[in-house]
């Protein structure tokens, strides 16, 4: 339990909620990262620049943030290169096939009371929990 | 111009929230999904904080406004049906999230932070997104810009 950070996580969550609400209020858009990124890849005319700028803001924050708080970006679990590539590929395909990720379904979708997003969030949470169980307790650690 | 600056600031604020909340630390993601004695429930507080703000503001915005402040119309998902794509996609995403410890936002902002692991994960993620979009691209007819996207 020593890594439990309820206050920082709650405040961070509130900032995520404000950013999502801002994108809705000003742009009329859902702040789903996989949807924003996927829309860049298969672009419609006039629908690209805001997506690229949103993603640029996300990346720029990491560039500056790691100077201020390097621990916030620390990768301290043991994963092989191939495990990371497989994981990234599953997230890429899964979020496009399932039309959303943690932000689009888990925050914005549930916030909109979308039935699809409730179901998707339960599904990806359950799948993540089962995967972590297998990694940590069946194969015991490094994959 | 303001659309672009606004989107940039939105992405930046989102990224600060991700870093502050712990979402950019894969150990905290794995710790949330490992219900052993060292269970780390922080992720639940991230969702709670985000929903406390987003859910009421969403209702307020879509009820009060006919259109967003800077755009001609809202681009919101309309589907309510549950299909195999949603369930399979969400499940595949969950496996990747549990395995790598990153979901898309934290992966992208951690690439900015110079994480080698995030770069490997993120490159595989972006390539597979592009591949999926290419394979499922519309052939003869153009799709509507806002169709079939939940988030």
Q: CB-CB: which of B14, B27, B82 is closest to A76?
A: B27
pLDDT tens figures, A115-142: 999 999 999 999 999 999 999 999 987 7
Instruction: State the nearest Cα–Cα gap between B139 and chain A, in angstroms.
Output: 13
**Chain A 45-104, residues with CB within 8 Å of chain B CB atoms:** 47, 49-51, 53-63, 65-66, 69-77, 79, 81, 83-104
Phi/psi of residue B134, each to 5°? -70, -45
Helix axis angle for A33-41 and A81-97, nearest 10°, is 90
Do A91 and B102 form a contact (C-beta atoms < 8 A)?
Answer: yes
pLDDT band at B137 (very low <50, low <70, confident <90, very high): confident
Q: Which token pair is A64?
A: 């500056």
Percent of chain A as helix, strand, coil, to the nearest 5: 75, 0, 25
pLDDT tens figures, A61-74: 999 999 999 999 99
Residue A1, pLDDT above cutoff 50:
no
pLDDT at A42: 73
Q: CB-CB: which of A21, A44, A65 is closest to B57?
A: A21
| B81 touching chain A per CB within 8 A | yes
**Chain B 85-144, residues with CB within 8 Å of chain A CB atoms:** 85-105, 107-118, 120-134, 136-137
**Chain A positions in Cβ-Cβ contact with residue B38 (cut-off 8 Å):** 1, 3
| A141 touching chain B per CB within 8 A | no
Q: Which carries the bigger pLDDT value, residue A108 or residue B138?
A: A108
Residue A101 CA to residue A40 CA, distance in Å, equals: 16
pLDDT at B148: 53
B48-53: average pLDDT:
98
Label residue B119 left, alpha or beta by phi (over 0 means left) and psi (-120 to 50 means alpha). alpha
Give chain A's end-to-end CA distance (angstroms, integer): 24
């Amino acid at each position: 339990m020593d890594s439990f950070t309820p206050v920082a996580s709650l405040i961070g969550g509130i900032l995520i909620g404000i950013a999502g609400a801002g994108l809705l209020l000003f742009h009329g858009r859902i702040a789903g990262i996989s949807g924003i990124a996927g829309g860049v890849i298969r672009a419609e005319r006039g629908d690209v620049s805001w997506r690229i700028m949103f993603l640029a803001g996300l990346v720029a924050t990491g560039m500056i943030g790691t100077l201020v708080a390097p621990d916030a970006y620390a990768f301290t679990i043991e994963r092989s290169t191939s495990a990371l590539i497989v994981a990234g590929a599953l997230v890429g395909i899964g979020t496009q096939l399932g039309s959303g990720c943690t932000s689009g379904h888990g925050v914005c979708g549930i916030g909109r009371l979308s039935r699809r997003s409730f179901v998707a969030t339960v599904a990806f949470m359950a799948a993540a929990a089962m995967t972590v169980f297998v990694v940590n307790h069946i194969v015991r650690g490094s994959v | 111009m303001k659309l672009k600056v606004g989107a940039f600031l939105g992405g930046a604020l989102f990224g600060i929230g991700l870093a502050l909340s712990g979402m950019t630390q894969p150990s905290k993601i794995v710790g949330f999904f490992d219900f052993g004695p060292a269970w780390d429930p922080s992720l639940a507080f991230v969702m709670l904080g985000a929903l406390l703000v987003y859910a009421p503001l969403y209702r307020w915005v879509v009820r009060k406004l006919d259109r967003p402040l800077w755009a001609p119309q809202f681009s919101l998902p309309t589907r309510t049906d549950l299909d195999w794509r949603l369930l399979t996609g969400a499940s595949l995403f969950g496996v990747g999230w549990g395995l790598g410890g990153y979901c898309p936002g934290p992966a992208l902002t951690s690439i900015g932070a110079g994480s080698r692991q995030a770069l490997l994960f993120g490159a595989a993620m972006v390539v597979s997104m592009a591949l999926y979009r290419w394979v499922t691209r519309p052939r003869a007819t153009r799709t509507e810009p806002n169709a079939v996207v939940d988030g």
